[in-house]
Amino acid sequence: MPWADTDEAQMVKIGVIGTGLMGAPMALRLMSAGYQVWVYNRTQPRLKPLELAGAKVCQTPDELLQAVDAVILMVTDAAAIRSLLPSPPGEATDPASQRSPLNNLTVIQMGTIAPAESQALHQQLADLGASYLEAPVLGSIPEAKTGKLIVMVGADAEQYQRWQPLLECFGSTLYHVGPVGTAAALKLAMNQLIGSLTAAFAQSLSLIQAAGIDVETFMAVVRQSALYAPTFDKKLKRMQSGNFADPNFPTKHLLKDMGLFTEAAQAADLNTLPAESVRQLVAEAVQAGFSEDDYSSIVAMVRSQAQP
């Protein structure tokens, strides 16, 4: 990894806001690469393991933003991001929200938000004197821990080249997609596939089981066909057992992303019906109490249609 064994990496101060399922292992990756890391999370007890590993814990977002050269955002959505940042000059609704400008800070947004939201953040941060790039990732907790995430970057060429060494801490597969907004769109396209592939597999699997066909026979045929996707095997055991606990990606997050995709597709004058039908299925799973569970729980909604 570039910078990993150089004095330059040790001089760069990096903040991580949002140390949940993905943010915590990503912060550890940065520390193992030699970066100084500051962390903030709304749930402070989650920061203790990172503090023990050498991260500097901040009590407020402002404290972190003023201490670092760049901050990685790994939070739920655009609303959460906006709540963490100061308002541009002249736009504060109250004195408490008119905080210090972010001169020379670089904000690296790595969560899943809409392209239009990312572009709006780009402008907001420019008004505050900060730079911005989006770098959403594809992969889950195991890939975050091992540095095997796929990183999609939306930024100008200069910003991409400047921060490429840091982003390579998270994965060796980096794609400079284009300007801000393009990587956000690609990430939504990929997450739409997550939802749609899982829903399609859940429906086919449920029909196989209802027909009394051996599941391994079904899977053997699928695996030999051009229709196979590795995610089918990853979710098979959960769908068979009905155990959706300890998720890498909870159902509530898939619902958010499917909603963002349908909004972006509508804005592009695309037919949203296929994705919207999956979004509705995921919404039913959330309403049924699977919000915090693995998104493969949507199989329960497929099967519930057959219940009296």
Three-state DSSP class for residue 132: strand
Band (269; pLDDT cuts 50, 70, 90): very high
Cβ-based neighbours of 287, under 8 Å, separated by 6 or more: none
* Residue 87 pLDDT greater than 80, yes or no: no
Can you tell me the distance from the alpha carbon of 108 to that of 118, in angstroms, rounded to the nearest whole number?
Answer: 11
Interval 109-134 mean pLDDT: 96
Mean pLDDT computed over 9-27: 92
pLDDT (tens digit per residue) in 37-60? 999 999 988 899 999 999 999 999
Helix boundaries (H) for the chain = 7-11, 23-32, 48-53, 61-65, 78-84, 115-127, 141-146, 157-167, 182-210, 215-224, 230-241, 251-267, 273-285, 298-304
Kindly tell me the number of DSSP H helices and DSSP E strands found in the chain. Answer: 14, 9
Instruction: State pTM to two decimals.
Output: 0.91
Q: What is the pLDDT of residue 240?
A: 97
Residue 263's pLDDT band (cuts 50, 70, 90): very high
* Residues 130-162: tens digit of each pLDDT: 999 999 999 999 999 999 999 999 999 999 999
How far apart (Å, rounded) are the C-alpha atoms in residues 182 and 114?
Answer: 10
**How high is the pLDDT of residue 308?**
39
| Amino acid letter, residue 179 | P
Q: At residue 7, does pLDDT exceed 80?
A: no
What's the CA gap between 69 and 103, in Å, rounded?
10
Least confident range of 28-32, 81-85, 187-191? 81-85
Q: pLDDT averaged over the chain?
A: 92
Residues 262 and 286: beta-carbon distance below 8 Å: no
